[in-house]
Amino acid sequence: MTERLTADAAGIARAAALLRAGGLVAFGTETVYGLGADATDATAVAAVFTAKGRPHFNPLIAHYPDAGAAFADVQETALARELAAAFWPGPLTMVLPRRAGCRVALLAGAGLDTLAVRVPATASARALLTTVGRPVAAPSANRSGQVSPTTSAHVLAELDGRIAAVLDSGACGVGVESTVIDLAGAHPVLLRPGGATREAIEAVIGPVGIGMTPDGAGLRSPGLLASHYAPGLPVRLDAVSVGADEALLAFGPPLQGAGASYQLSAAGDVSEAAARLFDGLRALDQAGRERGLRGIAAMTVPMQGLGLAINDRLQRAAAPRG
Ligand code: AMP
Ligand code: MG
């Protein structure tokens, strides 16, 4: 059963406790209802993708109670500081390089070196984030492919029974998603239009380019292709044997003889494997470089549950590089 919580002190305390215990809690912000999970807990983040029924891993936005908390996990560039002063709390999401020691699980950022961060405006959302005391990853609280919810009734229509609780703070005021701006490159690039307008942003930091998000959900512009995390070593799928000059991404009983190996899930559990996927690819990449291995051999992960999203990412990593 999904708990219905009112956004008063008791409801916020209960929602925070559920989040800290690894549960999924939908909560209202000024934009749309987000499906929250402790962003530092890869298992909880994997559960978000399961609840949404997403067939691929896309990077999620990490939510913070204030700019100081956000800049503990990402680099505070000069432009980011100006935008934070002008727009936070509010409907602007900034993509910035992760800091060394960033607490957010790699799965929440789909393995990327950058992280999208935001400080939502509503008092209840900020009180929740303050009480949780950890970054909260939250995509929109709808099933994959459906429209974003702006009331708790919308959330329950799709996710009742799939999440621990919904924190009801009434209807969302803005009703459209946050604007996403990429500040990690040489020039700022608008990745998704939203609650903060381009004109308002340009009034603060000057001209911004237009691009698209890694999952292609944002604006499209020729010449700017979606970029995804991919390991540096080539990936080979559905390995049934492995060489001493290869690194093994194991799932279930491991193949023998690899030059390095990382177990996604000894028990063959796809959710556990999803939570460990990006850590595994990075670990094997590093081991491969240190030991001079020629590639990563990935064992078969079944196409069930999060197995679809895992295979989607492995197939992209295995595709010929241009
Ligand atoms: P949603 O979670 O549905 O609000 O969507 C979040 C949006 O932010 C998606 O379009 C993502 O592609 C985008 N996003 C999140 N993290 C990053 C990142 N590290 N780099 C670029 N875009 C991102
Ligand atoms: Mg969405």
The residue with tokens 């995804």 is 228
pLDDT of residue 259: 97
Supply the pTM of this predicted model. Answer: 0.91
What pLDDT, on the 0 to 100 scale, is given for residue 218?
Answer: 63
Q: Which of 48, 60, 96 to mutate to test the pocket of ligand 1 (most atoms within 8 A of CB)?
A: 60
What are the residue ranges of helices labelled H in the chain? 9-20, 42-52, 67-70, 78-87, 123-132, 152-159, 198-205, 270-291, 307-318
Mutate to test the pocket of ligand 1, among 61, 63, 115, 174 (most ligand atoms within 8 A of CB): 61
pLDDT of res. 228: 67
Residue of 35, 75, 95 best suited for mutating to test ligand 1, as the one with most atoms within 8 Å of CB:
95
> Nearest ligand, CA of residue 228?
1
If you take atom 3 of ligand 1, which residue's CA is the nearest one?
139
Measured in Å, residue 139 CA sits from the centre of ligand 2 at: 6
Compute how many other C-beta atoms are within 10 angstroms of the C-beta atom of residue 257: 12
**Which ligand lies nearest the alpha carbon of 194?**
1
Domains and their CATH numbers in the chain: 3-210 (3.90.870.10), 235-318 (3.40.50.11030)
Residue located via tokens 């679809």: 308
- 8 A C-beta contact, residue 181 and residue 93: yes
Residue 77 CA to residue 73 CA, distance in Å, equals: 12
Q: Rounded CA gap, 153 and 172, in Å?
A: 12
Q: How much is the pLDDT for 217?
A: 66
Residues 6+ apart with CB under 8 A from 21: none
Ligand 2 centroid from CA 268, angstroms: 29
* Cα angle 212, 194, 69; round to 5: 90
Distance in Å, CA 59 to ligand 1 centroid = 5
Mean pLDDT of successive 10-residue segments in the chain (322 residues)? 97 98 97 97 98 92 98 98 98 97 97 96 98 97 90 95 97 89 94 91 95 69 53 93 98 98 98 94 94 97 93 85 57
Polymer length of the chain: 322
Q: Are 291 and 243 in contact (CB under 8 A)?
A: no
Tell me the CA–centroid distance for residue 212 and ligand 2, in Å.
15
Kindly identify the ligand whose nearest atom is closest to the C-alpha of 158: 2
319 CB contacts (<8 Å, ≥6 apart)?
Answer: none
Q: Nearest residue CA, atom 15 of ligand 1? A: 59
pLDDT value at residue 223: 41
